[in-house]
Structure 1
């Protein structure tokens, strides 16, 4: 009796080698190998090759570059040549301003002299009767308040100036800052106020002119010294609590702007030259 041997089937996924299955051993590494051999996409090389301008466009581009460079050179040359002219014009303008300020000072002195003459003539014209004496007394009371005469008395000296950060416009003293300060002094009971020697009255204008601050169109220089005559017992405390004192306390804390207050036993503030006699009429007419 013949016997036949039965062969066991071989499972391809267990006993067959990669060569028997028809696959390379590193078939699973193809993607990584391709990335290592060619790290850049072929489109990058194609676009880079097409990006260079063709030879026929290189000369026009070079000419444009030369023209632009020449324009910059001409502009720089013109600026250099015009610098002395601009400096001369600026110096001439400064000289004209200084001459105008000198002339203004002369006119102010004439106004003061004429005001004194008017006061003397008024005193001689009023007479010695009771009505004249009463009118003279009223005038003497009102003159210091309106700023038509110089006044002397105790008070405060306040010095203010810009903060250290010159690049910040808010750290610079503006005309509105001085206006708020002066209004605070009036609220605190000041009887007379002056800024850098210029008497402040109800006709005085504190304005900004470019980078400068003017009082009655006269430019001020830093630092700004504000003098106020008033009751030495209450003036400083009332000013600190006023809107002007609060405003400057804010500027001092936030922008380190200078704000120094000093009690002064005696101040002399000049008359406001703008307070002049503009018209008059005879009593009873």
Structure 2
């Protein structure tokens, strides 16, 4: 039969801790250990100091929280105000472009020379992507992949859209727009914070790339190019959404008039 111990034997360790709270090596110079009361006072002071420091830190955070939230609110208001201003300016530019087109049509009407100039302006406008166009083409829709731990690996980047546009141009696209924004010779696709922009206008997901071109060659040219190779890799390895569809008729808006930097008078 196993011997039973004393009822209070399990309390020996706890009693020893209270009776001798410090290690035996920490003794007074006269060889006697410090008293339990003095050790308890030291522990109490340490705990009090720690609590005081935590309380001061919490109080400081509580005081600074309203200021941080106020700064965020002001920043959001400034962003919204700038977005509204940009939208108003874009609308004004569109209205002025329409006035210019109307004035040009009125001036270049009446004789054969004016008709020739009008045809030449139309041809140059198509090359500069500054006139609206309509025709068959290809639609590519892309979006971010499932959320993971790979950082931006599952997100569509500005460089991904740049390579898609370049691949479509190489495949024979005559006009391209992304989310309704026409791409021209000087169009910039950039990333600003968490948003991708086209000429400083933010795009929202998903990203829809529309390209007008010869339906017999545009799709095959794209699939054989470097752009399709990249997007197949992004879809298969990172789960990005990547879908293509042919369209019998697309209508793309006119692009922005580019600023004239230099010009020469022809002979």
TM-score (norm 1): 0.71
For 2:202, the equivalent position in structure 1 comes to 219
- Distance of aligned partners of 1:179 and 1:279 in 2 relative to their CA distance in 1, 3 Å threshold: closer
- 1:241 corresponds to which residue? 224
Deviations 1:170-208 (A, max 9, x none): 111111111111111111111111111111111111111
Secondary structure of 1:262's aligned partner: strand
**Structure 2 counterparts to residues 54-65 of structure 1, below 5 A:** 55=34, 63=45
Question: Contact 1:162 / 1:257 at 8 angstroms: preserved in 2?
Answer: yes
- 1:172 is matched with 155
- Give the SS at the match of 1:171: coil
Larger Rg: 1
Structure 2: unaligned runs, 5 residues or longer: 1-22
How do 1:60-75 and structure 2 match up within 5 A? 63=45, 66-75=48-57
Q: Does 1:205 align with 2:180?
A: no
Residue 90 in 1 paired to residue 72 in 2?
Answer: yes
Looking at structure 1, the residues matched to 114 and 123 of structure 2 have their Cα atoms a distance apart, in angstroms, of 14
2:153 aligns to what SS in structure 1? Answer: helix
Contiguous gaps of at least 5 residues in structure 1: 1-47
For 1:142, the equivalent position in structure 2 comes to 124
Does residue 99 of structure 1 match 2:81?
Answer: yes
1:115–1:276 CA contact under 8 A, matched in 2: no
Tell me the alpha carbon deviations over residues 71-119 of structure 1, each in whole angstroms, 9 at most, x when there is no partner. Answer: 3333334334443443343333333323322222222222122222222
TM-fit CA distance, 1:234: 1.7
* Contact 2:173–2:212, Cα closer than 8 Å, also in 1: yes
User: Secondary structure, in 3 states, of the residue corresponding to 2:25?
Assistant: helix
Could you say if the C-alpha distance between residues 209 and 75 of structure 1 is closer, same or farther in structure 2, counting changes exceeding 3 Å?
A: farther
What is the distance in 2 between the residues matched to 1:188 and 1:161?
22
**Alpha-carbon shift at residue 261 of structure 1 (Å):** 0.8
Q: Please state if 1:193 is matched with 2:193.
A: no
C-alpha deviation, 1:61, in angstroms: 7.1
Aligned-CA RMSD value: 3.2
Q: Provide Cα deviations, 1:219-272, integer angstroms capped at 9, x if missing partner.
A: 211111111111122212211221111111110010011011111222221122
SS of corresponding position for 2:98: helix
State the distance in 2 between where 1:180 and 1:88 align: 41
